[in-house]
Structure 1
Amino acid sequence: MSLTRPSIRSRVSLEDWLEPFDCYISPTDEWLRPRFDLEGARELSSQTVRMAEEDGFDSMTTVHVIDGRADSADTVHLIEGGPDRYSESDEPMVVALRIRWTGVGQDPVHAVSVSHATPKDIKAARKRKVSGRGPRRAVVVQIEWQWLFRDGDAASAVDVCPPRPDGLYRVGDGHWPWTYVEWTCACGSVWNWHEDQCGTCDLTRDRQPEHQSTT
C-alpha cells in the first residue's frame, strides 16, 4: 500500500512581485515547491512577461508555454527578450527553441534544443507551424534572461520544466522565493491558504463574517 500523500491545493505568491497563484503542494515536502497545472503556467507566463516588458528583461526570469500536437513536425519558436539596457546595441536578445513534438510526450527536456536565433531559425519559425491532429502537447520553459545577458549562453539560461507524474509543472524548482498566501480569521488567527479551517475557533476560511476579508 502506497504511503504517498496526495497533493493539496493551496495559493502562493512570489513576494510582492506577482499576484497570487493557485497551485498544488506536497504535505511532505519540507521546501515550498509549488506545482502548477497548465492554466497556472499560462498565468505565470502572462505575469512574468508583462513584468519583464515593464522593468527590462535583463533582470528577469520569464515563463513560456508553447502548445503543439504529438504528431506535429518539428517547429522552431522565437522568444524575444528585448535589448540589453547596459549595452550600446539596440538589437534584442532572441532565443530559438527547436521542438521535436514526437518526443515531447516521452522526454520533453531532450525534445527541446535551445540556441541564439540565427537567420536560418528565423526563416524556419516563419515557415514551420504546428500541425497534426494527435494528442495535445505543451512545453513549459523558463528563461533566466539575467544569465543570458551576462554570459551569453542560451542553453544554460533556458530550463525546460517537464510535467511531473501527476501532470503538474514545477516552476522555479525551489530557487524562487515562493511564499504562502495567508488568510486572517475573524478571531485574529492567521493561516496559510490551504489550512482552510481555523484551529483556534473552528471557523472555515469560506465561512467568515461578511465584513471579514480572507485575502
Structure 2
Amino acid sequence: MTDTDQPQQPAATASRLINTRVCIDDMLGPYDAKLNPNNRWNGWLFPNFTLDTVRKIAARTQEAADEYGHDVTDTIYVIDGGIDREGEPRAVVLHVSWQWFDEGSQTAASIIQPHDDGLYSVGGGAWTWHFATWACICGGEEEWHVTHCECGLPRPDDEAADGAAPDTATPTGA
C-alpha cells in the first residue's frame, strides 16, 4: 500500500459530519450513519455508526459469511461486557478478516474503538461504502441526506433503515 492508498482518518470535528444513510450495494444496508462527505478512501465513504447499528451490521456480516463463506466475507462481532463506570453499555467491536487468518497475518483481527462521540467507524478505509439513495416520484434519484429532489419534492417520510429491505419509499443503493 502506498502513501496515497492509505485511508484518511475520520473527521476530527462533529461540525463536518452529516447524517445520512450508507450501503454496500445490496449486501449491507442501508444503515443510518454520520460522516464527513469529503473524507474518502479511493472514493468510498468513512461512515460512523452507533453501537446499535454496529450490532445490525455484525448480524448481517455473520449471515453473509454463513451464506457466501468466511474466506470472502469480513465479519463484525459485538462482544458485550456489562456496564462501565458511567453506567453506559460496555462492548468490544471486533473486525475479523478470515481470508487473512489462514495466512498467519497479524491483521486478521482488529478491535474497532469508538470515537470520542461514541460512534464506530466500521469498514472505513477498506469497505466500499457509498451513499444510499432515494427515488422521487418524478423519476429523480438523490443521495439520502439530500432532503428535496431537484424537482422540488421532498424525500418521502420513512423510518425504514438499518438494513431493512428497500421498497419504493425507502432508500436504494446508488
User: How does the TM-score come out when normalised to structure 1?
Assistant: 0.60
Given candidates 174, 186, 194, the residue that maps to 2:145 is 194
Alpha-carbon spacing, 1:166–1:135, altered in 2? closer, same or farther (3 Å): closer
- The alpha-carbon deviation at position 214 of structure 1 amounts to 4.5
Q: Secondary structure at the match of 1:64?
A: strand
Q: Secondary structure at the match of 1:23?
A: strand
Contact 1:12–1:20 (Cα < 8 Å) also in 2: yes
Q: Secondary structure at the match of 1:197?
A: coil
2-structure distance, mates of 1:196, 1:25: 16
- The alpha-carbon deviation at position 14 of structure 1 amounts to 1.1
Contact 1:38–1:169 (Cα < 8 Å) also in 2: yes
Structure whose alpha-carbon radius of gyration is higher: 1
Q: Which protein, 1 or 2, shows the higher relative CO under an 8 Å CA cutoff with sep ≥ 6?
A: 2
Q: Which runs of 5+ in 2 are unaligned?
A: 1-12, 159-167
1-structure distance, mates of 2:119, 2:156: 26
Alignment of 1:34-73 (within 5 A): 34-69=47-82
Given candidates 14, 22, 29, the residue that maps to 2:39 is 29
Given candidates 4, 9, 18, the residue that maps to 1:8 is 18
Match of 2:121 in 1: 170
2-structure distance, mates of 1:19, 1:4: 23
Residue type of the alignment partner of 2:23: S
Q: Secondary structure at the match of 1:139?
A: strand
Residue type of the alignment partner of 2:99: Q
2-structure distance, mates of 1:25, 1:136: 23
The 4+ residue runs of structure 1 with deviation greater than 6 A are none
Contact 1:64–1:140 (Cα < 8 Å) also in 2: yes
Q: Secondary structure at the match of 1:34?
A: coil
Match of 1:90 in 2: none
Alpha-carbon spacing, 1:4–1:37, altered in 2? closer, same or farther (3 Å): closer
Quick check: which one's helix share is greater?
1
- The alpha-carbon deviation at position 37 of structure 1 amounts to 0.3
- The alpha-carbon deviation at position 69 of structure 1 amounts to 3.5
Residue type of the alignment partner of 2:39: D
Given candidates 144, 147, 150, the residue that maps to 2:97 is 144
Contact 2:76–2:96 (Cα < 8 Å) also in 1: yes
Residue type of the alignment partner of 2:71: D
2-structure distance, mates of 1:170, 1:29: 12
Query: Quick check: 1:20 aligned with 2:30?
Result: yes
Residue type of the alignment partner of 2:91: A
Overall identity of the aligned pairs, in %: 38
Q: Secondary structure at the match of 1:44?
A: helix
Task: Report how many residues are paired.
Answer: 147
Q: Secondary structure at the match of 1:170?
A: coil
- The alpha-carbon deviation at position 147 of structure 1 amounts to 0.7
2-structure distance, mates of 1:23, 1:146: 27
Q: Which runs of 5+ in 1 are unaligned?
A: 72-104, 106-132
- 1:155-183 residue CA offsets vs partner (Å, 9 max, x unmatched): 42111111011110001122101121111
- The alpha-carbon deviation at position 18 of structure 1 amounts to 2.3
User: How does the TM-score come out when normalised to structure 2?
Assistant: 0.73
